Structure 1
């Protein structure tokens, strides 16, 4: 819709608010509204009225815990304030396991035995989501509601935590290559926290957008790729734990290359520098050459798979570099 700008006094310009919007949210003379600048646009919003976003998920036909989990996580990321979950069946568990957050594998079973009931799956998922909780549970439904207020400051803190947790995972892998397997086992726990912050950041972007609004798709893509880096670290840790042979000096050298690249992209993200961006591209060429040389020397499929995941980390870091350049322009 278009609005004509009206001049009042010497330096004041005003526009009228749409009457339907005013009535819906009970705007009165003297009411306060939020006005934020987003490039060429102005976003006008209010805390008044019924502006709660809602969605309903029917899980009656979802017979796998992992599928229920994904649907709830997607609704959370999308930014809904209330998520109504219907079709919850009692479940017929034959196997009970200790409750653990280490990995989603505890929801899976090699047989047809149901490890977790639907409501346990919902509770486990909601417990891992920042700022929401189950506020009502009756019969075959439950209601998940946002109990917090999000801000750009919280977003910035969560985003930095993602980088720091990735650096911790990387350090644990380095220790694992030197023989400390306990550090490798801890990566699942670290990655759980990393996923929580990633989901929270994506939720904020879907609800509010990025501070520089037109950059929202770029920062959204960056967070998704950071999540994929974490997934690769988790796979690397699992391969190292499963491998019986001693890790060669070449594999340790290759990982150091990728670890150094992670340090560079972290620095670049928070303090852009053209020379540092150029250095990332140059070091990637060295890493790619080392991967080709090493791959031909490896004798086991397990070792080749490990190097493949190293390669994917390098590819993701290049993608993050491109996106960081996009943010700068």
Structure 2
């Protein structure tokens, strides 16, 4: 791609940036871009190109696999490229291999009896973030609309896969600063969608969905609002959910639900709260687009 140099004052010069590149990286007038010289080449990036981050964890005793996963997940979502785990005795290699497979793009690149080196081969494509968020919305939509026909095994499979997509998406949001001023809102959208998936998997397991199914139209409207970046529609969904919650909070209504849906009522109130939280974050992100 060729660009002409335009004289600027006595000692400066400017070039124009391709508009497609500017839009792809959500850049606005006044934003900073970064220049990096490498021999005769000049690279322009929308974000500062940091060196790959690495971290070594030295365990004084062998922790549980759940604790190891929590540590790896935290570093993974924070954008670390290489993670080294060193154990006081022989590492649980088979279990670690299974654990690492639950993350997108992570691979064990070397190991010794007491040490494992994990590397991330993920790229940082800003467009992929939106694709993953849409995938999470679609998963919840599918589960909500098939609560009575999905079996427990399939529900659990979606729950496990959603956790994997969540971690991948949170890493991209962190490393690409997706959304700019509303990065946290995108972060919360992703974690809330994963929590909703987990709750729906539990509903499927208990084979009770009559009450929970009444929330599906509101999620459906919220999903549409997110896809269309429609702030007005997302606010309408939020207001509707608020009115429903106020009605549900009345003591008589709670007694009716508890008597008619003794198992399901707990899931219903949790999901109602999750949808309200999701709606508030969708409002923030759609307002930015308008």
Equivalents in 2 of 1:255, 1:189: separation in Å? 20
Deviation, structure 1 residue 193: 1.5
Tell me the secondary structure at the aligned position of residue 174 of structure 1.
coil
* Corresponding residue number in structure 1 for 2:223: 266
Cα gap change, 1:88 to 1:239, in 2 (>3 Å): farther
Any gaps of 5 or more consecutive residues in structure 2? Answer: 1-7, 16-33
* Corresponding residue number in structure 2 for 1:200: 168
* Corresponding residue number in structure 2 for 1:289: 247
Is 1:239 matched with 2:241? no
Deviation, structure 1 residue 258: 1.2
Any gaps of 5 or more consecutive residues in structure 1? Answer: 1-5, 14-20, 37-42, 92-117, 176-181, 241-246
Cα gap change, 1:167 to 1:321, in 2 (>3 Å): same
TM-score using structure 1 length: 0.69
Tell whether the 8 Å contact from 2:241 to 2:272 is kept in structure 1 after alignment.
Answer: no
Q: Indicate the RMSD between aligned Cα atoms, in angstroms.
A: 2.9
Deviation, structure 1 residue 276: 4.8
Cα gap change, 1:69 to 1:305, in 2 (>3 Å): farther
Equivalents in 2 of 1:239, 1:54: separation in Å? 43
Cα gap change, 1:81 to 1:295, in 2 (>3 Å): same
Tell whether the 8 Å contact from 1:33 to 1:44 is kept in structure 2 after alignment.
Answer: no
TM-score using structure 2 length: 0.78
Matched length = 259
Superposition map of 1:1-329 within 5 A: 7=9, 12=14, 27-36=37-46, 43-45=47-49, 51-87=51-87, 89-90=89-90, 118-175=92-149, 183-210=151-178, 212-240=179-207, 252=210, 254-271=211-228, 272-286=230-244, 289=247, 295-297=254-256, 298-299=258-259, 303-327=261-285, 328-329=287-288
Cα gap change, 1:34 to 1:86, in 2 (>3 Å): farther
